[in-house]
Structure 1
Amino acid sequence: MTLPRPHRDDLLIAAGGLAVGLLMWSFGLHTQTDRPITARWATLIPLAVMAAMATVRRSCPRTALTVGTIALVADQFTYGSLVTALMFTDLVYAAVVYGTPRSARRIPYTTGLITVGVTIGFLVWWQNAIALLVGLITGMVSFLPAVTGAVVRNHRQAADAARLRAEQTALLAEMDRSQAVVAERARMARELHDMVANHLSAIAIHSTAALSLDDPATTRQALTVIRENSVEGLAEMRRLIGLLRDSSGDAEPAAAPTLDGLDALTAQAAANGETSGLTFALDDTRPREEPALPAPVELAAYRIVQESLTNALKHAAPGEVRVAVARRPDGALTVAVASALGGQPGPRAPGSGAGLVGMRERVTLLGGAFEAGPVTSDDGRKEWLVRAVLPIGTSDKEPSAWYG
């Protein structure tokens, strides 16, 4: 077994104590006169042992205290050295500060009992006030260093606990900041995708058509649609940039889109999908007399319809794209977009799948239910259906059947 390397401060304490003890011994300064061992050199043995134990006061505190106690008792049979007693007090202090928690709890009580026992014993033996002085010295050598070590250890533990709490608080704050940044980036990604993707998809489809078909009328119509979507996409980008920049100069942020704009959104999709054989129909059965929906719900529903129409322009087979918006008896808002499932003839725009992820995130943030996938309609046709249930306040969050 390899012993721990002594600490530098412990080596300095041991060397300093030994040097002072040797100096006092050379001048004949002792603590006692009439002792069983009369050889002057015998005083150096407990001093040397105590100095040796001081080197391991931090690495082996229990061993140092045990051997130091034996050396102190042996010192009482010689002329004695004040430095030996002082170094013993340091060993008691170190045993409490650097020892195990069990030792730190037991040493103050043990030294206190020893102090009381020594005082009572000498009072019974001598029956004079000198016994109280001996008890006081015993307490100063053993009990007082132990109590001081306990106080220092408690303060260090409190400081460590406070530092740990501060580090944990800083870590939690950093985690909250990171989560807030991630959530904000996700929100910005959803907004950017939903605002611009439909315009860019229409541009991609019509530009491919213009390049692949040698028909001046078709080319002119495609270029017209490309220009309209470019202008609208640029306007959407400018509004988004205006919201993100603090120094944009806008007096007020741009108003968020609402379900009242579904008619215009469907009409725009119809214009973009005319060359692909797509038609669009909107069925909004919401009661007009009911109070307005919460802004987050309206924005989520609008973006879901917008992204679904964009996906239909990219991937749907020729046919009707149906948009249905309704309120359930429990007050929840339902949004459904169905399109024909199958290969789309002619040019297609590539998709990344981010749209479905964004729609699902929007619904999840509101505590709703989201479904997207192939289904069979009542007339037996294969369709792709996107359906979202957005609760209003406290409402049922369980997904219902896709049709109904």
Structure 2
Amino acid sequence: MSQARPRPHRDDLRIAVGGLAGGLLLWAFGVFSRGGSLDLIVWPASWAPLVPLAVMAACAPLRRVRPGLGLLLGTAALALDLLTRGSIATIVLYTDLVYAAVLYGSPAAARRITWITGLLTVLGGVLPAALLRSAQGLLIGVAVGVVAFAPATTGWVVRNHRDAAEAARLRAEQTALLAEKDRIQALHAERARVARELHDLVAGHLSAIAIHSTAALSIDDPATSKEALGVIRENSVEGLAEMRRLIGILRDHDGGGVSATPTLDGLAALVDGARAGGLDVTLDADHGRVPVPVELAAYRIVQESLTNALKHAGPGLVTVRVAHRDGALDVRVTSPYGGADGPRAPGSGAGLIGMRERAALLGGGFGAGPDGAEWTVRATLPVSGGDPE
């Protein structure tokens, strides 16, 4: 399929019609660009200037769509006009063709036209003055400069300003696109962070509620049911408090109000809660002072590991070890693997994803899987260079 040819711009058509009408008006009043004796004019007929005028007007619609061709035909029309009594309108139209060729033509053509017209201006002034040995010869160079070099220079300046404005516009668009991309990435990262926090805050409590409610429904023992209901109520209250703290964080725009960031000092309480849920847990913590992001990640990894142990672990001892060594905080949680008929509470698999993301955000490592008769969760969180405050 052939590409449609560009159509002349409306303003270019107006320039052609206006230039032709102005030239005809000047011709009707007998106004020509050159006077004096007709013996010095090759084509002295009074109607002769109308021919180059018509050609020049026909070139005007090409000033944007084919600027090089328009300038070439216009130069031929100007040369023809020099053989007649001349028309001011023809010269004015030609100056516009030179300007348009530099402004709308290719960069290489714009440079060539500017250099050529500048060279012709110099030669047009120097050579006649040297040959005639008169300063009046410089007038030819001045005429060439006014008709050709001045419009070419003006077109070059306008072109540079236009290109600079276009480059600035493109840079602004690129900056806006990058800013929008950063905004979307930040939004996704924030949504992932809120999803991790929400999961870690409520998953443990809801798992305990599910397990103990199942026990209360399946065991016909008032004492056991009462104990299960107590655990359910405790986890419900704690889960509600955690949700309220999270909502407070989301609503506190300046971050100076509610604080829901747990610390490693709360691991003991976390382990006590797991014991209340029915797990046999031991804690070995020797962490010292670590940066707040590392502290939060380690706490959440232990919390999620205990939640998973509550849902999936077989009978036996669950061990939690947190140690600060070699510039990193090592977190390891082991629980009995196998022996259970199935998960005591449903899971989505988001917990392992969240723990891996927390470790990756800190530049650390994470692994989880069976190790013989145990299921081991291990995270290595770098703490070197962090702010422990």
Same topology, TM > 0.5: yes
Aligned partner (choices 308, 315, 318) of residue 318 of structure 1: 315
Kept in 2: contact 1:96–1:149 (CA 8 A): yes
**Residues 322 and 338 of structure 1 are in contact (CA less than 8 Å); yes or no, is this contact kept in structure 2?**
yes
- Identity of aligned pairs, percent? 63
1:4-19 residue pairs with structure 2 within 5 A?
A: 4-19=6-21
Secondary structure class of the residue paired with 1:384: strand
**Mapping for residues 248-259 of structure 1, pairs under 5 Å:** 252-254=257-259, 256-259=261-264
How far the C-alpha of 1:125 sits from its partner, in A, is 3.7
Contact preservation (8 Å) 1:11, 1:55: yes
Deviations 1:303-345 (A, max 9, x none): 10000001111112222211111122x1311110111222634
Deviation readout 1:86-140 (Å, 9 max, x if unpaired)? 1100000000000001011111110011111122232234333332222111110
| Corresponding residue of 1:344 | 340
Whether contact under 8 Å (1:243, 1:253) holds in the other structure is: yes
- Residue 124 of structure 1 corresponds to 130
- Aligned partner of 1:151 in structure 2 is 157
Deviation at residue 247 of structure 1 after TM alignment: 8.1
Once residues 149 and 364 of structure 2 are traced to their aligned partners in structure 1, the CA distance between those partners, rounded to angstroms, is 68
Superposition pairs for residues 95-106 of structure 1, below 5 Å? 95-106=101-112
Q: Which residue pairs with 1:24 in the alignment?
A: 26
Alignment correspondent of 2:142 = 136
Counterpart residue type for residue 323 of structure 2 = A
Mapped partners of 1:42, 1:316: distance in 2? 106
Aligned to 1:390: 381
Distance 1:133 1:346, change over 3 A: closer
Structure 2 CA distance for aligned equivalents of residues 327 and 105 of structure 1: 69
Find the partner of 1:269 among 269, 274, 287.
274
| C-alpha deviation, 1:8, in angstroms | 0.8
- Asked if 1:44 corresponds to 2:46, the answer is no
Any idea what the Cα deviations from partners look like across 1:251-284, whole Å, max 9, x if unmatched? 7432521111111111111111x2xxx4212122
Query: 1:392 Cα shift?
Result: 1.4
Query: Hey, what's the Cα distance between the residues in 1 that align with 2:343 and 2:91?
Result: 97
- For residue 239 of structure 1, what is the amino acid of its counterpart? R
Q: Determine which of 62, 74, 79 is the counterpart of 2:80.
A: 74
- Ranges in structure 1 where 5+ consecutive residues have no aligned partner: 396-404
Question: Please, which runs of 5 or more residues in structure 2 have no aligned partner?
Answer: none
Residues in 1 aligned to 2:165 and 2:342: alpha-carbon distance in whole angstroms: 72
Tell me how far apart the structure 2 counterparts of residues 3 and 64 of structure 1 sit (CA, whole Å): 16
Secondary structure at the aligned position of 2:30 is classed as coil
Match of 2:185 among 179, 190, 198: 179
State the Cα deviation string for residues 18-65 of structure 1 (Å, max 9, x = none). Answer: 110111111111112431112222211111111111001001011011
Distance 2:13 2:339 in 1: 85
**Worse-matched range after superposition: 82-91 or 330-339:** 330-339
Partner of 1:356: 352
Distance in 1 of aligned mates of 2:117 and 2:13:
26
Find the residue that maps to 2:62 and give its secondary structure: coil
Cα separation, partners in 2 of 1:246 and 1:326, compared to 1, 3 Å: closer
- Structure-2 change in CA distance of 1:61 and 1:351 (3 Å): same
Out of 329, 336, 349, the position equivalent to 1:333 is: 329
Report if aligned partners of 2:319, 2:334 keep a CA contact under 8 Å in 1: yes
**Are the aligned partners of 1:209 and 1:346 in contact in 2 as well (CA < 8 Å)?**
no
TM-score (norm 2): 0.92
TM-fit CA distance, 1:214:
3.4
Contact 1:57/1:64 (<8 A) preserved: yes
Say whether the 8 Å CA contact 2:245–2:260 is kept in structure 1. no
State how far apart, in whole Å, the 2-side matches of 1:80 and 1:73 are.
10
SS class of match (1:242): helix
Give, as a single letter, the amino acid of the residue that structure 1 aligns with 2:331. Answer: V
Amino acid at match of 2:304: E
Cα offset, 1:219, TM superposition:
2.4
Once the two structures are TM-superposed, the CA of residue 183 in structure 1 deviates from its matched residue by: 1.8
CA distance in 1, matches of 2:6, 2:208: 75
The farther-off stretch of 147-156 and 344-353 is: 344-353
State the shift of 1:346 in Å.
Answer: 6.9
Corresponding position: 1:235 with 2:232:
no
State the match for 2:92 in structure 1.
86
Specify the SS of the correspondent of 1:29: coil
The alpha-carbon deviation at position 353 of structure 1 amounts to 1.5
CA contact 1:284–1:325 (8 Å) conserved in 2: yes
CA pair 251-387 structure 1, distance change in 2 beyond 3 A? closer
CA–CA distance in structure 1, aligned partners of residues 135 and 107 of structure 2: 37
Runs of 4+ in 1 over 6 A off after TM superposition: none
Task: Tell me what 2:265 maps to.
Answer: 260
TM-score if structure 1 supplies the norm length? 0.89
CA contact (8 A) 1:49 1:68 kept: yes
CA RMSD of aligned residues (A): 2.0
Return the offset for 1:15. 0.8
Write out per-residue CA displacement over residues 131-155 of structure 1, whole angstroms, 9 at most, x where no aligned residue.
Answer: 2222111110000000000000000
Judged with a 3 Å threshold, the aligned counterparts in structure 2 of structure 1 residues 347 and 337 are, in CA distance, closer, same or farther, namely closer
Separation of aligned partners in 1, 2:308 and 2:183: 34
Range that drifts further, 182-191 or 78-87? 182-191
